[in-house]
Structure 1
Amino acid sequence: MKDKKQESFHVIPRVDVPDLSGKRSSVRIRRKPVRKSQVETWTVRPSIETPDQEEKIPEKKRKPLSVRAKRTIRRWIVVGVVTAAVAVSYLTITLQTYTGIEVVEQIQEARGGNSFYVRYGENILGCDADSVSLFNLEGKELWKESIQFQKPIMEVSRSSAAVAELRGNEIAVFGEDGLRGQIKTTLPIEKMAVSSQGITAVILENGGAPVIQCFDVSGNVLIEYKVSAATSGYPVDLALSPDGTKLLVSYMMTQNSEVDTQLAYYDFGNEHKDGDYRIGGGTYANQLMPTVFFNSEEQSVAVGDGGFVIYDGAEPKEKKKISIDKEIRSIAYNEEYLAFVLADEGSSGSELRFYDYSGDEVVSKEFEGDYSNMKIDDGQVILFDGESASIFTEGGIHRFEGTVGANIKDLFVLKGINKYLLMSDKGTQRVRLTK
């Protein structure tokens, strides 16, 4: 297509111009002045009836580029606006701290006695002095088993749970479908651990010669070890690997008025001809480590008053030792993180601090308040005491700070935004966080 501003000339031959092609032709040409008014200027525009090269392509086969470009730009603008709106809404909801609770649904009436609850896979295991029951997050009871424990304690490992009478002689082992077996001991139970297969280990009180025993689900004794507290120290905690083949025991040793900790690992998954099943461990001076647990088959952690230590490997060796120079008030852990509530001496405030299992600090958050209960549930740290609660995400965002109007027994995260399952002296309720 020609430019509209370009000038074009069309010269018409005149009839009085002689033919110069013939022989002996002689013409005398005299220049005649031409006035400007006699020169016609034409602007040539293409006829609207004459399509150019691109317009000859049928409309259905190829749309004008400008139309497609406009539609693409318009589409991306819409996508951008919607994405921005969703992002703003998400940040508005997740980054603010809520202070109120709204009851959405009353699921169950209050249970009698000192009941408590534990997350059990996708369900919740509840226990009181009369029964152990499993119910889903919708509040539907899946099964219920009668027990008679005045002071029940519970340990859970993946698909198995063990419930015992503190300083009693009975243990009930549960699976996802209910009661699997019962165990009786001859001495009072002080500490207990369970593996995912249902193997149960206990520390039994026996004066200065405590006994460590392991049982299968049917109650058969697999291992028995009589401890000499005078030489080995007194066992204060124990843990089983998920497959039940390794046992970790934390011993408290007192020497020259100082308290030391000895960690000992035992392997019962392989035959040891020399009869010595110990495969690793270590001694930590001037430090008491009353909490030990396995994070995986070959990784375990011991937590004490000055920090924690991570062990790794089939024959466990110290991987990393982390010192904490603040008072440890509470601890909680899951498969990804180990969380602490720390306090400075003489300070009313607290610090929430997260570590991963490489020993690296990943979150540190200051907050006010003092809570006696702490747990990690579905990526959130939940602190509660009486009617008060505080909730943080694993990223350190403070989700909730306030009271719920009832004495809290437990609090679990539900699917959906700001939704929780509240167990209290008013029963089981589905609640939502509000401003």
Structure 2
Amino acid sequence: MSDMNSMNREIKKDQLRRQIVPASPQKDEDSNEIIKRARTKVKKKKLKIFLVVLFILSAGAVSLYTYLNYYQYTGYSVVWEKSLNEGSYVGYLDFGTNVLKYSKDGASYIDNQGKEVWIQSYEMKSPVASVNGSYAVIADQQGNSIYVFDKTGNTGVANTVLPIIKASVSAHGVVAAILEDTTSNYVYFYKRDGSSLDVKIKALLGGDSGYPVDISLSPDGTQLIGSYAFLKNGTMNGRVAFHNFAEIGKSVPDRLVGGFDEPYESTFVAQVRFLDDTYSCAFADNGISFYSTKNALSPELIKQIPAEDEIKSVFYSDKYAGMITDNPEGENPYKLSVYKSNGNLMFTNGFQYQYTHADIDGNLVILYNEDSCRVYNMSGRLKFSGTFDFPITKIRNGRFPNTLIVSGPQNMKEIRLQIGGQYQ
């Protein structure tokens, strides 16, 4: 009996002990699990929000890309209009985001709201102008004065003894000018303040060196590409030559680092241009040649684009070059082709618009005549086709993607292309 009582007492003690000391570790485990599940839930919610936002942004980007590349405008409204003093107007040139207007009696720098930033007076019989980056040059063809400008105004004037044929400027204000003599032609160089540099290139008329036709300085001013014409066996031939005026160019005679005759046999090279410090191109009557000066002492012809039919126009920017040729096949009488600075094709299109000017501004190709224009993007899509009620001499990009600056001899307008249009 006593054994049974003792056993019962032990059982009751064990029960009492379990009630007094509960299993607390299980409670801690449950609490950690709850916190872990809550954090996981928050992370999943944030991920869902991020994916939704990413989807909305991606859809917006695709819509914007589609709109900018495929939408065709059909009308416009005038944002602002500015009357200009016509004077003896000659032309406009793109100058940074604004334009340089030049005439026989002066030049003015006009911003993208039609305001004249500066005005410079001079007297020239036949002004020719060139722009490169932040500098512009205006020279009196067959005269003796060269005016150099930056975006703040005139930086200097160079006066020459020999008549001027052409002038080119670098993005740092160095000027190269072809000067004409009775027995030879020269390329002289000037600083942006108009003072002479102790550098010149001589070409004997009728000699092997050829007659200089056109020149262009690289943006940094250390390289020059020139086109030359010379007689060989009674036939006119073309030549493209490169000169280097950096320290490395001192190691070669006359700083002549490259010359190309073979591509221009029985061909005239009318124009040359450095697009940037590496790539340049030459426009001949048989096509466009693209060059690279990555190796400063050994320029390379990287691509030659032959013209299958007669070239009507050539044009370029700092990133692209293009040409318009006859197109005898099909319903379109002309063919527009645009290339990157390395010669790779961007697009080619046939068209039948009667243009008088062709320009590249940014990522737009602009064809226009005295009262209408056509605008293409770099995918070859026609973005706008319209007519105007005043004379046109220059069209360029406006301040926003859907605006254009339309200039004439007496006025300038910014137009906003209307939203109403259609997809091609």
Preserved CA contact (<8 Å) 1:250 1:261? yes
The answer on whether the counterparts of 1:249 and 1:263 sit within 8 Å (CA) in structure 2 is yes
**Secondary structure, counterpart of 2:66 in structure 1:** helix
Measured against aligned partners, the alpha-carbon deviations of 1:286-318 in whole angstroms (never above 9, x if no partner) come to 222111111233432222122222232201332
More helix by share: 2
Q: How many residues align?
A: 383
The 1:321/1:378 distance shift into structure 2, 3 A limit, reads closer
Cα pair 1:100 1:403 within 8 Å, conserved: no
User: Between the two proteins, what is the percent identity of the paired residues?
Assistant: 27
Which residue is 2:19 aligned to? none
Letter in 2 for 1:144: I
Q: After superposition, where does 1:9-88 map in structure 2 within 5 Å?
A: 80=55, 84=59, 87-88=62-63
Q: AA paired with 2:200?
A: E
SS at match of 2:269: coil
Whether 2:335 is the aligned partner of 1:341: answer: no
1:336 Cα shift? 2.1
Cα distance 1:144–1:426, how it changes in 2: closer, same or farther (>3 A)?
Answer: closer
Q: Which segment is superposed worse, 319-328 or 384-393?
A: 319-328
Distance 1:64 1:195 in 2: 62
TM-aligned CA deviation for residue 136 of structure 1: 2.2
Within-5 A mapping of 1:194-273:
194-216=169-191, 217-232=193-208, 233-270=210-247, 272=250
Number of the residue aligned with 2:20: none
- Specify the code of the residue in structure 2 equivalent to 1:336: K
Q: 1:70 to 1:213 in 2, by over 3 A?
A: closer
**How far did residue 227 of structure 1 move?**
1.8
- What do the CA deviations read for 1:32-61 (whole angstroms, capped 9, x no partner)? xxxxxxxxxxxxxxxxxxxxxxx999x999
1:154 to 129, 135, 142: 129
Alpha-carbon contact 1:131-1:147 (below 8 Å) kept:
yes
CA contact (8 A) 2:338 2:348 kept: yes
Aligned to 2:8: none
Secondary structure at the counterpart of residue 196 of structure 1:
coil
Equivalent in the alignment of 2:258: 280
Determine the C-alpha separation between the residues in 2 that align with 1:77 and 1:272: 62
Q: Partners of 1:77 and 1:329 in 2: how far apart?
A: 52
1:179-238 deviation line (CA, Å, top 9, x unaligned): 111011122211111112222111123345223222223332533333212123211111
2:244–2:296: 8 Å Cα contact kept in structure 1?
no
Q: Name which of 327, 334, 339 aligns with 1:355.
A: 339
Aligned-residue offset at 1:143 = 1.8
CA distance in 2, matches of 1:292, 1:204: 17
- Distance of aligned partners of 1:190 and 1:346 in 2 relative to their CA distance in 1, 3 Å threshold: farther
* TM-score after normalising by structure 1: 0.77
Aligned to 1:365: 349
Question: How far apart are the structure 1 equivalents of 2:105 and 2:399?
Answer: 30
Of 298, 309, 312, 1:326 maps to: 309
Report how far residue 118 of structure 1 moved. Answer: 2.1
Q: Greater CA deviation, 321-330 or 230-239?
A: 321-330
* Cα separation, partners in 2 of 1:152 and 1:404, compared to 1, 3 Å: same
**Is 1:315 the equivalent of 2:310?**
no
Shift of 1:84: 4.3
Contact 2:364/2:377 (8 A) holds in 1? yes
User: Letter of the aligned partner of 1:252 in structure 2?
Assistant: A
CA change 1:360–1:71 in 2 (3 A) is: closer
2-structure distance, mates of 1:103, 1:340: 31
Query: Partners in 2 of 1:196 and 1:90 — Cα distance?
Result: 33
Q: Which amino acid aligns with 2:279?
A: Q
**Residue 384 of structure 1 aligns to which amino acid in structure 2?**
Y
Between 1:207-216 and 1:398-407, the stretch displaced more is 207-216
* Matched residue, 1:20: none
Q: Counterparts of 1:93 and 1:74 in 2: how far apart (Å)?
A: 28
- Rounded to whole Å, the distance in 2 between the matches of 1:243 and 1:77 is 48
CA separation in 1, counterparts of 2:132 and 2:408? 25
Provide the C-alpha distance between the structure 1 equivalents of 2:101 and 2:171, rounded to a whole number of angstroms. 18
Partners of 2:275 and 2:223 lie apart in 1 by: 12
Give the whole-Å Cα distance in 1 for the aligned partners of 2:31 and 2:180.
98
Q: Which residue of 2 aligns with 1:23?
A: none
Q: What is the distance in 2 between the residues matched to 1:274 and 1:77? A: 63
Structure 1 counterpart of 2:70, which letter?
Answer: L
Instruction: Kindly indicate whether the alpha-carbon contact (under 8 Å) linking 1:406 and 1:426 is maintained by their aligned counterparts in 2.
Output: no
How far is the alpha carbon of 1:121 from its aligned partner? 2.1
Q: Does structure 1 conserve the Cα–Cα contact (< 8 Å) formed by 2:104 and 2:122?
A: yes
Q: What secondary structure is seen at the aligned counterpart in 2 of 1:276?
A: helix
State whether residues 206 and 231 of structure 2, in contact with CA within 8 Å, keep that contact through their aligned partners in structure 1: no
Are the aligned partners of 2:366 and 2:376 in contact in 1 as well (CA < 8 Å)?
A: yes
How far residue 81 of structure 1 moved from its aligned partner, in angstroms, is 6.5
- Which deviations, in whole Å up to 9, do the C-alpha atoms of 1:313-342 show, x marking residues without a partner? 201332323132232222222232222222
Tell me the amino acid that sits aligned with residue 431 of structure 1.
I
CA RMSD of aligned residues (A): 3.3
Shift of the 306–275 alpha-carbon distance from structure 1 to 2, 3 Å rule, reads closer
- The answer to whether the Cα contact below 8 Å between 2:81 and 2:114 also exists between their aligned partners in 1 is no
CA offset at residue 154 of structure 1? Answer: 0.9
Q: 1:374 to 1:260 in 2, by over 3 A?
A: same
Q: What is the distance in 2 between the residues matched to 1:135 and 1:147? A: 17
Query: 1:91 aligns to what?
Result: 66
User: How far is the alpha carbon of 1:413 from its aligned partner?
Assistant: 0.9
2:393 match: secondary structure = strand
Shift of 1:82: 7.7
Contiguous gaps of at least 5 residues in structure 1: 1-54
